[in-house]
Amino acid sequence: MKAPCENVVWYVLPAIRSELAKELAKVMSQKEISEILGITQAAVSQYVSNKRGSKIELSDDVKAAIADLADDIARVGTGDPTLAICEICQKIRENEHCEICPG
């Protein structure tokens, strides 16, 4: 049995990164996205092409929160999106229908 934290690392965070990378790819290069998210350009490419981070379906409100974060990043410039990503992750984990993150 996997601990909930493992499920977050393997499924939830990649889903968030994937959606965020797709939103950011509308206005910036994969290289810029990789620098902002602290991941490789190859990882961004995989997120954008749904080869990574597509194991769970995000709710519309979570997608909206990610789109808002992408807008903030694009408008304000580079910054550390870690806190906002953590808040989105928490929103997913608190969802009553989340079967990946029990409790």
Q: Are 17 and 37 in contact (CB under 8 A)?
A: yes
pTM equals: 0.86
**CB-based contacts of 68-71 (< 8 A; 24+ apart in sequence):** 69/20, 69/23, 70/20, 70/23, 70/24, 70/26, 71/23
pLDDT number for residue 76: 84
Task: pLDDT tens for the chain, 103 residues: list them.
Answer: 677 788 889 999 999 999 999 999 999 999 999 999 999 999 999 999 999 999 989 999 999 999 999 999 999 876 788 899 999 999 888 875 555 555 4
pLDDT number for residue 97: 53
